[in-house]
Each structure stands twice: as C-alpha cells, then as structure tokens.
C-alpha cells in the first residue's frame, strides 16, 4: 500500500517506520509539504491546532482514504464536530480516527507484550478495512468504536482521561477484550 504520512514527529514518524517494516511504501511529509497524489491512504499526524497549516502545503489531496491521528489539546474549531471532520473537509475521502489513544513512546515495546495491545478507532465504511489493516500492521489489535460520527468526537474527548491516567502511571498500553479472550 502507498501511504503518505503528513507529520514526521513521534506519532507520524513512528507509524511510518512500523508500516515500512510491514512492507508498505511510505512517504513522510514535514512542514515543507509535498505531493500526496499517489497515496492510497493519507495519514494526518500533526497537532490538532495545526491541521490547516499542515494540509495547505500538501498537493494531490483528492479523496484518498484518510486516517486522522491528531489529538485535541486546545479549543476545537466550532465549524466541525471533530478534528477528523475538519480533515475530511480538505481531503474529501472516507475518513477514520485512529492511533490517538495510544502512546508513540510505547511503539518500540509493542512486540514484547504478553498480549497484543488494543487501538481504538472510528471509521466511515469506506475507510474501515484499510484502517483495520494498518492498525494490525502496526502491531495493535483494532477495536472499532463505530462510525466517524460520533466516534471521532468520542475518541477526541477521551484524550483528557488518557492524559490524566498517563500522568499517574506514564505511557501505557490497554487491551479491550471479551471475557475469556485475555
């Protein structure tokens, strides 16, 4: 799969490395932007408040499947119900929200866990299969929380809880499973 990751930081850079190891063709774009026209999927991994600035320097955004990994640390733009919806308004393709509830600081430790860590995601039907595959290829067990609306907003709103818990125990993994599956 051809993946364009917008953002080379801990999340975007870490995901790019994991997906390259899994055999995908990955191009990571930074502040200077670049061309995403050959991407099968576009992954937006920038701070939530800089979405507009990050996407304005990227050409070739024309309806690709998109995965939003951003987090909300400030006020949300009131025009959109979620950061994912803001991103979708620019790229226009089927959109998912994922990787926003896992810690990039733990990426190197995924394979050493007793059980596969979970990663929550919300997705429109056209983005669901690709998102599940990329979550799995990154080493996580995908857990679907529903469609982008209201799922993206639910994931974004949970970031305060995630940060509070991390303040107590540090970066962590989590696992959602039915009884008897652990």
Q: Which of 54, 51, 50, 130 has its CA nearest to residue 95? A: 130
Which secondary-structure segment (H or E) carries 27? strand 25-29
**Confidence category of residue 23, pLDDT binned at 50, 70, 90:** very high
Residue 123 near residue 99, CB atoms below 8 Å: no
Residue 85 CB partners (closer than 8 Å, separation 6+):
95, 148, 149, 152
Looking at residue 78, what is its pLDDT? 81
pTM (2 d.p.) = 0.95
Mean pLDDT over residues 36-56, rounded?
A: 95
**Confidence category of residue 41, pLDDT binned at 50, 70, 90:** very high
Mean pLDDT over residues 127-133, rounded?
A: 98
Task: With a cut of 70, say whether residue 77 has pLDDT above it.
Answer: no
Residue 5 structure tokens:
């990751």
Given strand 2-6, what is the order of strands in its sheet? 25-29, 2-6, 41-44, 65-68, 95-98, 118-123, 141-146
**Confidence category of residue 159, pLDDT binned at 50, 70, 90:** confident
Q: Is the dihedral of CA 7, 120, 74, 36 positive or negative?
A: positive
Task: With a cut of 80, say whether residue 74 has pLDDT above it.
Answer: no
């Amino acid at each position: 799969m051809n993946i364009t990751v917008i953002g080379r930081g801990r999340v975007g850079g870490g995901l790019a490395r994991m997906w390259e190891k899994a055999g995908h063709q990955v191009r990571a774009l930074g502040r200077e932007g670049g061309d995403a026209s050959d991407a099968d999927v576009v992954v937006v991994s920038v701070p939530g408040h800089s979405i507009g600035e990050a996407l304005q320097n990227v050409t070739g955004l024309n309806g690709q499947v998109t995965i939003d990994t951003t987090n909300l640390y400030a006020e949300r733009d009131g025009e959109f119900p979620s950061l994912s919806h803001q991103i979708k308004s620019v790229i226009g393709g089927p959109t998912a929200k994922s990787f926003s509830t896992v810690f990039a600081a733990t990426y190197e430790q995924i394979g050493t866990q007793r059980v596969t860590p979970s990663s929550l995601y919300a997705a429109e039907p056209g983005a669901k299969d690709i998102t599940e595959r990329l979550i799995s290829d990154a080493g996580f067990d995908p857990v679907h929380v529903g469609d982008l609306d209201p799922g993206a907003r639910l994931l974004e709103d949970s970031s305060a809880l995630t940060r509070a818990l991390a303040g107590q125990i540090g970066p962590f993994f989590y696992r959602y499973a039915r009884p008897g599956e652990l």
